Structure 1
Amino acid sequence: MLAVAGVYREAALSPEEREIAHAIINAVLPEAELDFRRRLADMVKNAPQLDAAIARRLAEDVLEVARPILAESLALSDADLVAIIDNRSIEHARVIATRRELSAELSTALIRTDDETIVLRVAANENAAIPTQAYHRILDRFGEHATITEAVVQRRALPMAVAERMTTIVTGRMLERLIDKYSLEPARVSAIIEHGRENILLTSFAPGQRAEEMRALIEALHQNGLLSSTLILRAFCLGNFAFTLPALSLKAGIQVSNVRALLGDEGRNGPAQLYERCDLDPAFRELFLQLTVLGRNERVRRFGFAPEGWRTNVRPVLDDVIGDTNPEQAFEQRITEALMCLATRYHNGDGQHGYGRRQAQAG
């Protein structure tokens, strides 16, 4: 078998000769001992026109055999490699992550493992095509991992949405490089960073709290002037009612049961009165009213969070605010974009243009 593999690798075989070589290898391979399988894989890893079935058999073998095929062979398709990532050991996937070039499909599958070693290898590989959604997954899972975020910053080019999101994660010289590299406006960066802090609060700390701990958190935020309109609207957009309802209760100075009653008013009067009583920024009033309409018939899940599908329903509302659709932008970042658009329009005296005017007509 090894002698045939040597000829197979070095010589230009006719189609008939190649068929015979395949038959010999396939006949012997199932009974071959580990060392012979390992030597075979190393011999044929770069063989031109290597039979895809043989490549797959070697790639799905134990790691010692599979390694050279996984790392170098071009006989494996992206579908073959994704199947191995999904069904073989994490060590197999780590070897695949060392390949010189990685397609978008392959990078996505590797990043989906959420393995630190794999994600770092993909992020550091300039020949890896990484889709926007895969970047967002990296930042969702490894935003606090300095080595990985540094590797992302060092890449030659990032989607603008990812570059802006990175500003909420990195600091110091990395932040300076991002701002300079992508010509980001300082005022916009400052706003994005502030929204990023609020998002971290709601998506990392707040969801794990019991009701009394949540109330204490909200009261502490209120006392320190941090219970902002944007924080409450973000919680509402995220479907974090465990935060939103007590926050509105505290701001309005009424019981949570009364907050629920006002929000449940079939007209706009109840929610509008609640908004005014809370003294929230008028820039976000129409968005708030739209969200109350969406939430009116939703059954809240355990622990006070919106049911599955809430974000799907909220996203078109955010798209309407922004004036476009962007499926590649993370939902949390879409909230930031909508809140920034509303604040800019209102405080520039344009509160009844675009979204505001459409909602006024609808009302």
Structure 2
Amino acid sequence: MSADPTPARRASTMLSVATVYQSGELSTEEREIANAIINAVLPEAELDYRRRLAETLKNAPGLDRAIARRLAEDVMDVARPILAECLALTDEDLVAVIENRGVEHARIVATRPILSAAVSTALIKTDDETVVLRVAANENAAIPTQAYHRLLDRFAENTNVTDAVVQRRALPVAVAERMTTIVTGRVLERLIDKYNLEPARVSALIEHGRENILLTSFAPGQRAEEMRALIDALHENGLLSSTLILRAFCLGNFAFVLPALSLRAGIQVSNVRALLGDDGGRGPQQLFDRCKLDNSYRELFLQLTLLGRHERVRRFGFAPEGWRTNVRPVLDDVIGDANPEQAFEQRITEALLSLAHGHGHDNGAEGSLGRRAHGR
């Protein structure tokens, strides 16, 4: 090889070696020589030679992992056949490519017929619709529960993705339950029947899902007077529930919480602030009782009050940076476990459901957002 100074001739020799390599007829010693030749020439080979090399070696038996990795990390024209088919790449290699190369590389990895849990998780973390849809539609893709939650956090409103998830042969029950807050009609009926979900819990999950949409998609964009009008309408229709207020409190949406508590307690917002900030500690208790909130949520309310006592509210009435970080351990304690991969909003739902377990309906509660009729 070193006696031939022509790069094109060296690259042609590399391809000839690759053809023999692909035949699977090399001895161990011959394979080592072939690996050495390919590794020596590959760095200097032009694109067309590298592309032809990858196409030749994509299914080569016993392909050296290091060579496969170099080709997989090359430009897309070279990497494509290796990423899609080569079995020499380990899960570690595939995850590294997904994390370190562009989304186009990840899209090709997602076409592989079998995807491990580690690879599926890395693919879902790209937050790319094409990648996620390919993983969700692949029945041979192992998807951990946390990865499902990540997928739904980003794509709950994407019907192509949610339809692909629903059609999978099996889902973790927690994911099936969460899907009930997203899908409707016959799809919802199939989910309930397929996973034998309890109607009461499904109803509660749907209710919490609607409350979350209200607080995360609609309420944040309202001016003060519009927010008050919204809260008035919810109250008039019996929808200003304990869970809605506690969810807003957990989210740090004080622009909603303070006027909501004011309306339920029948006092001015300034008095609500005074009771919440009572250093003696009785004020929050008195406010909770005056609002007639469901007693199931008393301890959570008091803990949130304690966390927020010295917080300076940001512009537009939202909690400062770090609020959710402080609230999350409180929710974890209520639920009885910690799950950093699960969305904060979902942790709120789990905590509220845990507190409500074994209790009656919200004392002041008042209806379902599904019955939110004319309202305003």
TM-score (norm 2): 0.85
Separation in 1, partners of 2:242, 2:189 = 29
Alignment of 1:153 onto 2:166: yes
In structure 1, stretches of 5+ residues that fail to align are 349-363
Structure-2 change in CA distance of 1:338 and 1:28 (3 Å): closer
Give yes or no for contact 2:71–2:82 (8 Å, CA) kept in 1. yes
Is 2:312 aligned against 1:299?
A: yes
1:181 to 194, 198, 203: 194
| Equivalence map 1:235-250=2 (5 Å) | 235-250=248-263
Partner residue in 2 for 1:25: 38
1:320 to 1:245, Cα distance in 2 relative to 1, 3 A: same
Determine if contact 1:161/1:329 at 8 Å carries over to the other structure: no
The answer for the alignment partner of 1:343 in structure 2 is 356
Q: Which runs of 4+ in 1 moved over 6 A?
A: none
Aligned-partner SS, 1:113: coil
CA distance in 1: counterparts of 2:218 and 2:319, whole angstroms:
17
Task: Report deviation, 1:236.
Answer: 0.9
Q: Are the structure 2 counterparts of residues 10 and 236 from structure 1 closer, same or farther at C-alpha, using a change threshold of 3 Å?
A: same
Query: For residues 309 and 336 of structure 1, what CA distance do their matches in structure 2 show?
Result: 20
**Structure 1 residues 32, 342: CA separation in 2 closer, same or farther (over 3 Å shift)?**
closer
Aligned residue type for 1:325: D
Matched, 1:111 2:124: yes
Q: Which residue of 1 aligns with 2:28?
A: 15
1:98 to partner: Cα distance = 0.5
Q: Which position in structure 2 is the counterpart of 1:76? A: 89
In 1, Cα distance between equivalents of 2:307 and 2:291: 20
Say if 2:337 is the partner of 1:325.
yes
Equivalent position of 2:281 in the other structure: 268
Tell me which residue corresponds to 1:197.
210
Distance, in Å, in 2 between the alignment partners of 1:71 and 1:303 is 49
User: What does residue range 252-291 of structure 1 map to in structure 2 within 5 Å?
Assistant: 252-291=265-304
SS in 2 for 1:242: helix
- Check whether the contact 1:49–1:75 (CA below 8 A) recurs between aligned residues: yes
Tell me which residue corresponds to 1:355.
none
Map 1:92-131 to 2 at 5 A. 92-131=105-144
The one-character-per-residue Cα deviations of 1:116-161 (angstroms, maximum 9, x if unpaired) are 1111100111221212221111111111111211111122222221
Is the 8 Å Cα contact of residues 264 and 296 (structure 1) preserved in structure 2?
Answer: yes
Cα gap change, 1:212 to 1:112, in 2 (>3 Å): farther
- Stretch moving more, 18-27 or 196-205: 18-27
Query: Structure 1-normalised TM-score?
Result: 0.88
Deviates more, 1:307-316 or 1:108-117: 307-316
SS in 2 for 1:347: coil
User: Does 1:144 find its partner at 2:164?
Assistant: no
Change in Cα spacing, 1:204 to 1:98, as seen in structure 2 (3 Å) is same
Aligned sequence identity (%): 80
Aligned residues: 347
- Ranked by relative contact order (alpha carbons within 8 Å, sequence separation 6 or more), the top structure is 2
Alpha-carbon distance in 2 for matches of 1:226, 1:252? 15
Per-residue deviation, 1:199:
0.9
The 8 Å contact of residues 153 and 343 in structure 2, kept in 1 or not, is answered as: no
Tell me the distance in 1 between the aligned counterparts of 2:152 and 2:59.
35
